[in-house]
Structure 1
Amino acid sequence: MPGVKKSYMKPRIVALIPAHNEEKSIRDCLAGLNDQLLPKGVELDVYVIADNCTDRTEEKAIKAGEEFGLNLKVIVTEGNKLRKVGALNSGWKLLYGDIMDFYHIQLTESQELYKQSIKAILGMDADSRLAPNCLKYLWEGLMSGRNIGGVMAKYTMRMPKKKSLLSKHDVYYEEKIASGEYGGPISRWWTHQQKQDMASWLLDLQYHGGSTYVLGGQATLFRPEALQEVVNHNKLDGPWQNDSDVEDMLLTWQLQKSGWKTLISPKGRCFVDAMRSYHTFREQRNKWNSGTVELLTNKDLSIQTRHKGKIWRNQLKSFSDLVIRVLFVVLLSVALATDQFHWSWIWLTPIVLASILNTILAIKTPMHRTIDVIFAALLIAPEIYLWVNLMTFSQVWLQKLSSNKKDGWANQYAAEAGKTRSKLTQGMLLGTITVLIIGYVCFYYRDFLTSETVQQSINPYLMGGWITLTYLTILKSLMMAHQIWTLRGRHTA
Structure 2
Amino acid sequence: MNPVPGRRRAPENWTLTVLIPAYNEASSIAATIAAALNQTRPADRIVVVPNGCTDETAAIARAYPVTVMELPKLAHRKSEALNRAWHAYGRDSDVVVCLDADTVLPPNAFADWEEELWLDCLLGGSSSKFTMQAPDFLSRLQKAEFATWTDTALQRGRTSVLAGTGCAISGEALRRVAARDDREGPWCYTSATEDFELTYRIRELGFYCQVSPTVRAYTDSMKDLRSLWNQRMKWQVGTVEDLLHIGVNRLTIRDWGQQLMGLLNAGLKALWVAVIVGYALMGSLQLIWFWFLLPVLFIALDVKRATRIPHVDAKDFLIAASFFPNELFMWMRAGWFTRSWVDVLASKITKRSRDRWEAQYQAEGV
Aligned to 1:221: 168
- Within 1, Cα distance between the matches of 2:257 and 2:148? 16
**In the alignment, does 2:142 pair up with 1:198?**
no
Q: Pick one of 281, 305, 309 that aligns with 1:365.
A: 309
1:136 maps to a residue whose letter is A
1:144-183 → structure 2 map (5 Å cutoff): 144-160=119-135
1:127-174 deviations in whole A, cap 9, x for unaligned? 1110231222222222221111111111001315xxxxxxxxxxxxxx
Contact 2:49 2:70 in 1 (8 A): yes
**In the alignment, does 2:57 pair up with 1:63?**
no
Q: How far does residue 43 in structure 1 lie from its aligned partner after superposition?
A: 4.7
Specify the structure having the higher radius of gyration (Cα).
1
Q: Pick one of 409, 412, 425 that aligns with 2:360.
A: 412
Aligned to 2:44: 44
Q: Pick one of 386, 395, 401 that aligns with 2:345.
A: 401
1:240 maps to a residue whose letter is W
Q: Normalising to structure 1: TM-score of the pair?
A: 0.68
2:103 maps to a residue whose letter is S
Contact 1:256 1:306 in 2 (8 A): no
- Within 1, Cα distance between the matches of 2:268 and 2:295? 13
Q: How far does residue 223 in structure 1 lie from its aligned partner after superposition?
A: 0.9
Q: Normalising to structure 2: TM-score of the pair?
A: 0.90
Q: How far does residue 296 in structure 1 lie from its aligned partner after superposition?
A: 1.3
1:197 maps to a residue whose letter is E
- 1 or 2, which has the higher helix percentage? 1
1:100-249 → structure 2 map (5 Å cutoff): 115=92, 118-160=93-135, 188-208=136-156, 210-249=157-196
Q: Taking structure 1 as reference, are residues 387 and 43 closer, same or farther at Cα in structure 2, changes over 3 Å only?
A: closer
- Within 2, Cα distance between the matches of 1:306 and 1:44? 37
Q: Pick one of 244, 268, 288 that aligns with 1:324.
A: 268
1:181-214 deviations in whole A, cap 9, x for unaligned? xxxxxxx110011111111111111122x21111
Q: How far does residue 306 in structure 1 lie from its aligned partner after superposition?
A: 4.1
**In the alignment, does 2:13 pair up with 1:18?**
no
Structure 1's unaligned 5+ residue stretches are 1-8, 66-71, 98-114, 161-187, 419-493
The secondary structure found in structure 1 opposite 2:64 is helix
Contact 2:24 2:55 in 1 (8 A): yes
Contact 2:95 2:169 in 1 (8 A): yes
The secondary structure found in structure 2 opposite 1:64 is coil
- Within 2, Cα distance between the matches of 1:365 and 1:135? 23
Contact 1:257 1:304 in 2 (8 A): no
The secondary structure found in structure 2 opposite 1:364 is coil
Aligned to 2:33: 30
The secondary structure found in structure 2 opposite 1:46 is strand
Q: Pick one of 87, 91, 95 that aligns with 2:81.
A: 87
- Within 1, Cα distance between the matches of 2:294 and 2:321? 13
Aligned to 1:165: none
The secondary structure found in structure 2 opposite 1:249 is helix
Q: Taking structure 1 as reference, are residues 365 and 133 closer, same or farther at Cα in structure 2, changes over 3 Å only?
A: same
Instruction: Report the RMSD for the aligned CA atoms in angstroms.
Output: 2.0
1:82-112 deviations in whole A, cap 9, x for unaligned? 1111111111111367xxxxxxxxxxxxxxx
Q: How far does residue 273 in structure 1 lie from its aligned partner after superposition?
A: 0.5
Aligned sequence identity (%): 29
- Within 1, Cα distance between the matches of 2:154 and 2:37? 28
The secondary structure found in structure 2 opposite 1:52 is coil
Q: Pick one of 331, 336, 342 that aligns with 2:280.
A: 336
Corresponding residue pairs, total: 351
Contact 1:11 1:43 in 2 (8 A): no
- Within 1, Cα distance between the matches of 2:182 and 2:266? 41
- Within 2, Cα distance between the matches of 1:96 and 1:191? 34
Aligned to 1:280: 227
Q: How far does residue 309 in structure 1 lie from its aligned partner after superposition?
A: 2.1
Aligned to 1:441: none
